[in-house]
Structure 1
Amino acid sequence: MSSALQISASISSNSSSFLNCGFGIRPSKSSLPPASRSHGICLCVAAPSEQTGTYKTKVSRNANMAKLQAGYLFPEIARRRSAHMLKYPDAQVISLGIGDTTEPIPEVITSAMAMRAHSLSTVEGYSGYGAEQGDKNLRAAIASTFYGDLGIEETDIFVSDGAKCDISRLQLLFGSNVKMAVQDPSYPAYVDSSVIVGQTGLFQKDIEKYGNIEYMRCTPENGFFPDLSTVSKTDIIFFCSPNNPTGSASSRDQLMQLVQFAKDNGSIIVYDSAYAMYISDDSPQSIFEIPGAKEVAIETSSFSKYAGFTGVRLGWTVIPKELLFSDGFPVAKDFNRIVCTCFNGSSNIAQAGGLACLSSEGLKAMKDVIGFYKENTEIIVDTFTSLGFNVYGGKNAPYVWVHFPGRSSWDVFAEILEKTHLVTTPGSGFGPGGEGFIRVSAFGHRGNVLEACKRLKQLYK
C-alpha cells in the first residue's frame, strides 16, 4: 500500500472517533452515556477544558450549538462498535446499523469517472470550476429520468454533493425565523440542522423534544403517516418517503393530503426522496406526481443509495419556478444565491459518474444493485417475522423497523451487540417516536446478512 493510501485509510478508520471526540478532548469511560437512556448519545464536542490556565479567545460559543443534547447518532454508534471490538478483539462484528452501502459501484459507472479523471491530465480534457448548479447535461438527464412529464425542467435542478448537505443549505436559506415540522421518527439531520440555525427552543428532557418543532408522530397505528388534523401550522415540513428509519412509503392519497395541508397553511414541504428507486408498489416516487406540489414543495435526492455513491458524494435538489415566498419572490433564486455563495459545484469526476448512472446501461446496473439489497431486506424481514416480532418497512426501503415493546431502544441495541456482535441502530436516535424500535439496515454483503440472521435466531429463538 502506498503512503498516500495508508494515510487515506488511517483518516477513514479514525473519522468517527474524530467527529465524536473533537479537538484535543480525550474520551474517557466516565463520559459514556448509559445504554438504558432513551437518547444515550455522547455529549457534544465542545466540553470545557479541564486544564487550568489554558488560553481562551473572547469569542462566544454559538448558543444554538449549546442546545444540542447529543452528538450525532451515527458517530456514537461507531464509537460503541469500536469499544465492543476492543472488548472482543476476536469477534466477527457485523454492521447492519448505519445505512452505508457495501456493494461495489458498477463498472459502467466507475469507468466513466476514471475516464473523466484521466482526461484532467490533458490540456484538452482539463476543466476547473464548473457551474455551481451542476453540469447542464447531468441536470437534463436527472429531469428526464426521474421527472419525465411532471413539468420539472433542468433549470429547476441543483446538483450537489449529497442530499444531507442540501438539507443544511436549505436550512440556511429558510433562516432562524421559521417553525418546522418533522416526522417522528425521522432522519436526525432535519432536527439537528434546525437547532443549529436557531429555529428551535431548548430541549425539553421530560418529553425528549425541542421547543418550537412540531413532531408529527408516525406509528404502526396510523400507518406511519401523521394525523394532519392534529398537526399545528408550521412554515417548513420535512417529509421523507420512503421513510428513514421506518421504511414506510406514503400512498398517493396520503401525499395529496400532505400537499393540500401545505397549501391550506401556506407551508413549504421539503420532500426527501433518497430511497424512491426502492419502491416496489404504486406509491409515488416524487412529490411532484401530486397535482399542485410544484407550488408548495422542494425535493431532494441522491445517488448514494442507488449507485453506492455514499463516498463519491452526488445528489440534487429540485426547486420549481412556481414555488414562491410570501412576497412573491422565487425560492429558487434565493437558493441559487446560497449555492453560489457556499458551494463551488459538485466534483466534475462525480458528475461524470452521475451521467453514467443515467445511461440505459447505468440504470440497469443501479436497479440490479438495488435488487440485491432488497433481497437482503426480505431475508431480514423473514428472520424477525419467524421469531414473532412485529416488523415494518422492508418492502419499499432498505430498512427494517422492528418493535420491542416496553424496552429501551438503546438496551436492545446493547443486548444485540453484546450477545451477537451485531450492530443495529436504536430507534430512539431518530426521535421520541422511535423508542421501543430498532432499525436494521439491509446494506451488507450477503454472507454477513445470512450470518447476522443466524445469530439473531440463536438469540431470540
Structure 2
Amino acid sequence: MITLNKHYANLEESYLFYHIAQKIDAYVQAHPNAHLYRMGIGDVSLPLCDAVIEALHKAVDDQANKDTFQGYLPECGAPFLRETIATHYAQRGVTVSPDEVFVSSGASDELGDILDLFDRQSAALVIEPAYPAYVDASVMAGRRVVHLASGKENGFLPMPDENIDADLLYICSPNNPTGAVFSRNQLQSWIDFANERGSIILFDAAYEAFIEDDALPHSIFELPGAETCAIEICSLSKTAGFTGTRLGYTVIPKALTRNNMSLNDMWVRNRTTKTNGVSYIIQRGAAAVFTPQEQQQIRKNIQLYKSNARLLTDALDQLGFWYCGGKNAPYIWMECPAHMDSWSFFDYVLQEIQVVGTPGAGFGPSGEGYFRLSAFNSPEETREAARRLVELLSHLS
C-alpha cells in the first residue's frame, strides 16, 4: 500500500477565510438586501495599468506570428525580464546581477517551493501573527516550526535573542497582517543574528512598494551582510495588480553558500528540473511594470490605496484606538475595543454596520484581540466603512 505524506495530518485546520465566508453567507441569507463593506480583502481592486495591458496584447500578437513566436523560455526567467529587474534594483542603489534574479509565478508559490533547498531537519522560525502559509508549508515538509510571539509592547516587531533555535527565519516587512515595518537597525539585527548563527532569512518583500518613509528599507539587500544570509521573495500582485495575472521574482545572491554549496546554483537546478518557467506573455507584461510610465501609474494606484488607509487610520485616531500599520503598508492592525476577542469583534461590526474585516486570531495566537483592516477597496466604500466604524464604536473609546 502506498505511504502518504504523514505530515499533512499535523496541519491545523485552515478555517480562517472559510469561516469568514460561512459567516458572511449566513448574514447575506438573513439580510438579502444588505450591502457589505469589505475591508478584509487582501486582493487589489484596481485594474492593470495601460502599459501592462499594451505589453500583454503585443505579446499575444507575437505568438500569432511565426517570426516573433516564443516557445519554451529559460526556466529561471527570460533574460529581458531578469535584466529589467536587476536594473530596477540598481536604481535603488542595490547591486543585483540578472542571474541572481529568478522569475516565478508569484511569491506564494515561491515561499513554499524554496524549502526544497533545505534539509527537513532545518527548523523554521515564524514571527507571529503571520501569513499562515509560512507555518503550513513548513509543516507539510515535516519541518519543526519555532513560533516567536510579538505584540503591542514591541509594535509587533520582535528582535532576535540567544534563545532562538532555528535555521530558517521568515521575515515579512512590511508585514501581513500587522502592517508593521522593520527599521534599518532592527533588520540589521536580524541579519547579524543570521550570519552569526549560519541561519538563512527568507525575506518576504511583497508589500515593499507601499513604503513611503525613506528611512525604511525596501529590500533586505540595502543592508550590509544580507548577501550572505538572505533570500528575497517579491511579488507584483499588490505592487502592480498581478493577483490574477501571477508573477513574482526571487533574488538569491551568489555569495549565499552553506556547506560549500551555492544556493543560487541549487535553485537553478531546482527550477530547471521542476518547472518550465512562466509564460512569455506574462513576462512581457511584467517587464512593462518597470517602465517609467508604468512606475508613475503604479505610484498613483498605490497612493489611492494609501489614501484609503488614511481614512481608516483617521477613524481609529478619532476613536483613540491603538493600531499599527497603514502608513507604509496596505493593512491596519487594530486592537479590538472593550477587551473583545477577534471573532466577537468580527461578528459585532458585521451585524451592526455591515463592515467585514479579518479576525487577528486567524494569524496565530498572538493575533487574538486584534483585527485587520485592508485598504484594497474603493475610496467610496472605505470612506463609508470608516464613518460607520466611528459612529458605532464611539461609545467604546
Q: Please indicate, yes or no, whether the TM-score normalized by the shorter chain is above 0.5.
A: yes
Matches within 5 A, 1:40-439: 58-71=1-14, 73-148=16-91, 149-200=93-144, 213-229=145-161, 231-281=163-213, 282-325=215-258, 327-404=259-336, 406-439=339-372
Contact 2:199 2:229 (8 Å CA) reproduced: yes
| Distance across 1 between alignment mates of 2:305 and 2:317 | 18
The Cα of 1:74 is off from its aligned counterpart by: 3.1
1:206 corresponding residue in structure 2: none
The Cα of 1:76 is off from its aligned counterpart by: 3.8
Spell out, residue by residue over 1:141-197, the C-alpha distance to the aligned partner (whole angstroms, 9 max, x if none). 111113444221110000001001000111222242110111111111111101111
| Distance across 2 between alignment mates of 1:242 and 1:403 | 18
Q: Structure 1 residues 344, 297: closer, same or farther in 2, change over 3 A?
A: same
Secondary structure of 1:316's partner?
strand
Query: Which residue type is aligned with residue 152 of structure 1?
Result: V
Contact 2:155 2:324 (8 Å CA) reproduced: no
The Cα of 1:255 is off from its aligned counterpart by: 1.1
| Distance across 1 between alignment mates of 2:276 and 2:18 | 27
| Distance across 2 between alignment mates of 1:73 and 1:400 | 18
Contact 1:169 1:338 (8 Å CA) reproduced: no
Spell out, residue by residue over 1:301-325, the C-alpha distance to the aligned partner (whole angstroms, 9 max, x if none). 0100011110000100000000012
| Distance across 2 between alignment mates of 1:59 and 1:84 | 44
The Cα of 1:97 is off from its aligned counterpart by: 1.0
The Cα of 1:233 is off from its aligned counterpart by: 2.5
Secondary structure of 2:139's partner?
helix
| Distance across 2 between alignment mates of 1:180 and 1:351 | 32
The Cα of 1:88 is off from its aligned counterpart by: 2.0
Spell out, residue by residue over 1:99-130, the C-alpha distance to the aligned partner (whole angstroms, 9 max, x if none). 10001111121111111112212222221221
Query: Which residue type is aligned with residue 437 of structure 1?
Result: Y
Contact 1:216 1:231 (8 Å CA) reproduced: no
Contact 1:175 1:197 (8 Å CA) reproduced: no
Secondary structure of 2:333's partner?
strand
The Cα of 1:436 is off from its aligned counterpart by: 0.6
Query: Which residue type is aligned with residue 239 of structure 1?
Result: I
After TM superposition, which residue ranges in structure 1, 4 or more long, deviate above 6 angstroms?
none
Give unmatched runs, 5+ long, in structure 2.
none
Paired-residue identity, %: 38
Contact 2:159 2:186 (8 Å CA) reproduced: no
| Distance across 1 between alignment mates of 2:58 and 2:22 | 37
Q: Structure 1 residues 79, 116: closer, same or farther in 2, change over 3 A?
A: farther
Contact 2:195 2:229 (8 Å CA) reproduced: yes
Query: Which residue type is aligned with residue 240 of structure 1?
Result: C
Contact 1:299 1:319 (8 Å CA) reproduced: yes
TM-score (normalised: structure 1):
0.82
Contact 1:233 1:265 (8 Å CA) reproduced: no
Give unmatched runs, 5+ long, in structure 1.
1-57, 201-212
The Cα of 1:215 is off from its aligned counterpart by: 1.9
Secondary structure of 1:375's partner?
helix
Query: Which residue type is aligned with residue 116 of structure 2?
Result: L
The Cα of 1:353 is off from its aligned counterpart by: 1.2
TM-score (normalised: structure 2):
0.95
CA RMSD of aligned residues (A): 1.6
